[in-house]
Structure formats: C-alpha cells, structure tokens
Amino acid sequence: MSDNLTLTDPVVAEIHATRVAMLEAAGGDIGLLMQQVAERQRKSKHRIITQPMRHRTEQFARPDRELPR
C-alpha cells in the first residue's frame, strides 16, 4: 500500500478526522478517550468482538501452484 493512500482516500481522511475530533473532545487525554470509547461500546447494541480473528487453515486452489497431497 502506498503512503499516498492516506492523503487521498476520503474514507481514510474521514477516519483520521473523527479520531482527531474524539481526542479533542476528551481534552487530548488518550486515557479519557479510551474510557469514553469503552463506555460507548458497553452501551451499544452492536456485537463487540474481543478476541482476535482466527486464521483460516484450509488450502485454496491457485493456478500457479499445486495443493499438497
């Protein structure tokens, strides 16, 4: 990925702007920001994933290589 992606991608720019606004709202205190985020997560009706994703172990067929037998 190019470093220029962060400068030109509007989605990435929006994510960065949201992070800056949230940190400013917390008075620049990262600890307070993390507390606010955790509180929002607790109040949310959305499922929060707390464990890392498991990697898939099955092999996928690729035309440039044979699958192990």
Enter the tokens of residue 30.
């990262």
Contact 26, 32 (CB under 8 A): yes
Q: Domain limits of the chain?
A: 5-43
CA–CA dist 13, 19 (Å, integer): 10
Global pTM reads 0.54
In tens, the pLDDT along 4-63 reads: 555 678 999 999 999 999 999 999 999 999 999 999 988 998 887 777 767 766 666 555
